[in-house]
Amino acid sequence: MQSGPLQIPAYAKINLTLEVIGRRDDGYHDVATILQTVDLSDTLTLEAAGALTVECDDPDLSGENNIVWQAAVALARHAGVAPEARIRIAKRIPSAAGLGGGSADAAAALRGLNRLWGLDLPPDELAAVAAGLGSDVPFLLTGGTALGTGRGDELAALPDLPAIEILLVAPADTIAAKTPTLYRALTPADFSDGRHTQRIAGVSAAGGPLTSADCRNAFERAALGIFPGLAGVWETVASLAQHPPRLSGAGPALFCRPSSESERRTVAVALRNRGATAYLVRTIAPSTSMPSTSAPSSSG
């Protein structure tokens, strides 16, 4: 069992492709997606305590409604232990942006609590707990590059992409019930059979070049009409970036691949009055996504 505090990075993801294939009998949708972790991250600090607390530097994300709380309770129930830990979250990933911030935090909590509580559960058991928390959580346990099918939680690892710089743009405004709203807004023209994603997965596995012009997201048409201000942000990025913007997940975050710091600065200046933040991030592999370190104890 871990004796001192742990610091666990929680890395964001982008969807290089996201095709929606059809509605399932269980009410969810079958998708085909290529998931990729990037080095924009939250940080979780975990330490032993006599009860479960979840604190965040964004007060709205503290407490029992945070998915990290749900992850701790689910893991404790699975392992037959008491859910006792103090978990602090330092947020950097924009919330509800299509970057998997909450899912990344949940995955980091599972990894950290597995160590803090001395459970030593194997990856397949952690993945089973993760699957009950959300479709992105199993992928974010390890990160890297993967093909997701089914609800997005049936994963097949792909060869690691090289460390490529990506322009990431996160508008400030999102909407309530984002994902179900976007699914309801899809029309038959937005559905596809997943072949594009399978082709891009093959290109990626063969080490071929891949830019955001090769990427696709079924939600883009709907998102441009639903998210406040997204169309203007999209037009600005498209006019300045070398490669076209693409939506990540259910949005509203956009990415352009590859990019550069000079391009990020240009886009950031152009967006300064639109309430959007421009980041330059890099793709990362599982060996980068998994580390945890001991942290100095804090009484604050």
Per residue in 172-197, pLDDT (tens digit) is 988 999 999 999 999 999 999 999 99
The pLDDT of residue 295 is: 64
Domains of the chain from N-terminus onward: 6-159 (3.30.230.10), 165-282 (3.30.70.890)
Strands 254-256 and 6-23: unpaired
The pLDDT of residue 289 is: 66
**Which of the residue ranges 5-19, 195-209, 235-249, 262-276 would you say has the lowest mean pLDDT?**
195-209
Residues near 277 by beta carbon (within 8 Å), at least 6 away in sequence: 94, 169, 170, 172, 268, 271
The pLDDT of residue 300 is: 40
Q: Is the pTM of this model over 0.75?
A: yes
- What confidence category does residue 299 fall into, taking pLDDT thresholds of 50, 70 and 90? very low
CA atoms of 96 and 180, how far apart (whole Å):
13
Per residue in 90-119, pLDDT (tens digit) is 999 999 999 999 999 999 999 999 999 999
Percentage of the chain with pLDDT > 70?
94
Residue 233 has pLDDT above 50, yes or no: yes
Among residues 161, 182, 152, which one has the least CA distance to residue 247? 182
Percentage of the chain with pLDDT > 90?
85
Residue 242 has pLDDT above 60, yes or no: yes
Q: Which residues are catalytic?
A: 13, 136
Output the average pLDDT for the chain: 94
The pLDDT of residue 58 is: 93
CB 13 within 8 A of CB 140: yes
